[in-house]
Amino acid sequence: MAANKQQRTKPRRPALVGISPSPADQRPAAETAVGNKPLLALLNLESQIRGCNNEHELVYLIANETRKLTRARQVFVIDSRSKRPKVGGISSLDTVDRNVPLVRWIERIVFNLRKQDGDESVKEFVLPAYCGHDEADTQTYPFPHMLWVPFRAGSDTIGGILLARENAWTEADVAVAKRLAEAYTFGLIFQRTGMRRRAVKNPRRWWAYLAAALVVAVQFVPVPLVVHAPVEVTPRNPFVITAPIDGIVGEIVIKPNSPVAAGAVVMRFEDTILRNAFELADEQLRVAETRLHRISQASFYDSDAKKELRLAIAERDLKQRERDYSEQLLTRATVRTPRSGLAVFADRNEWAGRPVRTGERIMSISDPQHYEFTIDLPVGDAVILQNDARVKLYMNSDPLDAVEARLHNIAYEASMSKANILSYRLTARAQETGDRQFRLGSRGTAQLFGSDVPLFYFLFRRPLSSLRTMLTF
């Protein structure tokens, strides 16, 4: 048994003396992982290219991921399918406005590059190449070193990427950009052609054509044109209390949204200066009256005093008017309401100590039982509406119960709303509210009904409007 066990035991491999492990065997695993990071990033990017759902996602991916792998500061994605190149994407931007001067400048650079040297191959250049030296963008653009990498589909150039940064391009960055361009070209071709599937003609499915015909026919069904806009409950014919004098608000006596009676004090101004001015004018009036009395007595026996009598009377009258004016300003420092109602304003602490000008609006006195609905219709949603048009109001306090109303007034000119949106101000009045009460200042959504239009126009009004702004004739 001992002999058999000894025979099964495998002999140990003798160690080789004088042969040391290779440097690759001694390389740490962390160093190997770091060296593979660029390759892993490139493989991950190619996987993301295949996962894009549409061309817009792919262009956004090209503009932003290329900058990371090539160490570019800014990347422009160019579409060269038309006669003049177009910028389809810019790094860090979701959309591109082709009316921006920078975009038009980049398009001129690519156009001049294609016209002078051709856009079929990679091209490195430094500004002001392919652009005017005296152009504003040429002088202010901070990244002069540019790299053009085309998207080649066979013998055609379907686009490319224009990379920019502040220092010269290295061979490694150019090699990475070329490799990326090949993957981007495949992705663009796949998005533009590979995902389109032609419908297979099947004569047995005649119902599909019937359904399509019905859909087309339904598009011509007349429906009312409906738009939505924010609405607010506002008082009807409120009495506006404005600042009667130039001064500083001392205090607001009443609370916001509190009832007040006619003749009640609602606010007071700081009257220290006004009171001092009244006392000074009153003292000057007494001095003028004393001087007039002295001169009038002396005029009986002194001819010179008789000459000064008219001047003294005029001075006395002037001081009298100044005193009356000071007394009137002092009286206006206390503001009273001429009618009863509900005081509508924001916060009385915000008014304390605030300087105001004469005529500046401070609050309004309104009757809570008489209200109307103010609608701010944005200019982009403006449709043709007639007076007495139907309106349905959905207030935030009760969104399930609509209020039927009719348009009462339509503003002719648009103005900025409280939300800083250019809007037309409309006024609507409820028809039947029953026992429902609406608090002044409450908000909701108004549904306005215009004239009847085809269903196609109702569904595609906004897309057609956006398309019209993009087209130039």
Q: Distance (Å, rounded) from C-alpha 381 to C-alpha 414? A: 12
**pLDDT per residue as tens digits for the range 145-203:** 999 999 998 888 889 999 999 999 999 999 999 999 998 988 888 888 755 443 334 55
Percent of the chain beyond pLDDT 90? 20
Lowest-confidence region among 195-199, 219-223, 391-395: 195-199
pTM: 0.43
At residue 311, the pLDDT reads: 87
What's the CA gap between 424 and 416, in Å, rounded?
8
Q: What's the CA gap between 332 and 277, in Å, rounded?
A: 14
* The 3-state secondary structure of the chain, one letter per residue: CHHHHHHHCCCCCCCCCCCCCCHHHHCCHHHHHHHCHHHHHHHHHHHHHHHCCCHHHHHHHHHHHHHHHHCCCEEEEEECCCCCCEEEEECCCCCCCCCCHHHHHHHHHHHHHHHHCCCCCCEEEECCCCCCCCCHHHHHCCCCEEEEEEEEECCEEEEEEEEEECCCCCHHHHHHHHHHHHHHHHHHHHHHHHCCCCCCCCCCCHHHHHHHHHHHHHCCCEEEEEEEEEEEEEECCCEEEECCCCEEEEEECCCCCCEECCCCEEEEECCHHHHHHHHHHHHHHHHHHHHHHHHHHHCCCCHHHHHHHHHHHHHHHHHHHHHHHHHHHHHHCEEECCCCEEEECCCHHHHCCCEECCCCEEEEEECCCCEEEEEEEEHHHCCCCCCCCEEEEEECCEEEEEEEEEEEEECCCCEECCCCCEEEEEEEEECCCCCCCCCCCCEEEEEEEEEEEEHHHHHHHHHHHHHHHHCCC
Residue 423: pLDDT over 60: yes
The predicted structure's pLDDT at residue 47: 82
Say if residue 337 is exposed, middle or buried (CB neighbours under 10 Å; 0-12, 13-18, 19+): buried
**AA identity, residue 368:** P
CA 55 to chain centre: 27
Top pLDDT among 284 and 299 is at 284
State the pLDDT at residue 367: 82
Contact 128, 138 (CB under 8 A): yes
Query: Tell me: the pLDDT tens digits for 321-356?
Result: 999 999 888 888 889 988 888 888 888 888 888 899
The sign of the CA dihedral 418, 421, 426, 428 is negative
Summarize the confidence of residues 356-378 as an average pLDDT.
87
**Residue 383 confidence class, pLDDT cut points 50, 70, 90:** confident
Radius of gyration of the chain (CA): 42
pLDDT at 377 over 60: yes
May I ask the CATH architecture of the domain 370-470? Beta Barrel (2.40)
Show Cβ contacts of residue 136 under 8 Å, excluding neighbours closer than 6 positions. 101
Of 38-47, 125-134, 152-161, 202-211, the least confident: 202-211
Residue with the bigger pLDDT between 15 and 79: it is: 79
> CA torsion, points 301, 307, 311, 314, in degrees to nearest 10?
70
d(CA 126, CA 164): 9
Please, what is the average pLDDT of the chain?
82
Instruction: Report residue 132 as tokens.
Output: 């005017």
Cα(247)–Cα(167) distance, integer angstroms: 62
Higher pLDDT, 432 or 212: 212
Tokens of 421: 């949106």
For residues 251 and 364, what is the distance between their CA atoms, to the nearest angstrom? 16
Looking at residue 36, its pLDDT comes to 57
Whether pLDDT at 111 is above 90: yes
The number of angstroms, rounded, from the C-alpha of 328 to the middle of its chain's C-alpha atoms is 48
Give the lowest-confidence range in 58-67, 103-112, 167-176, 380-389: 380-389
Span 48-194 CATH architecture = 2-Layer Sandwich (3.30)
Give the residue carrying structure tokens 């037309």.
Answer: 424
Parse the chain into domains and list their residue ranges: 48-194, 240-361, 370-470
Percent over 70 (pLDDT), the chain: 88
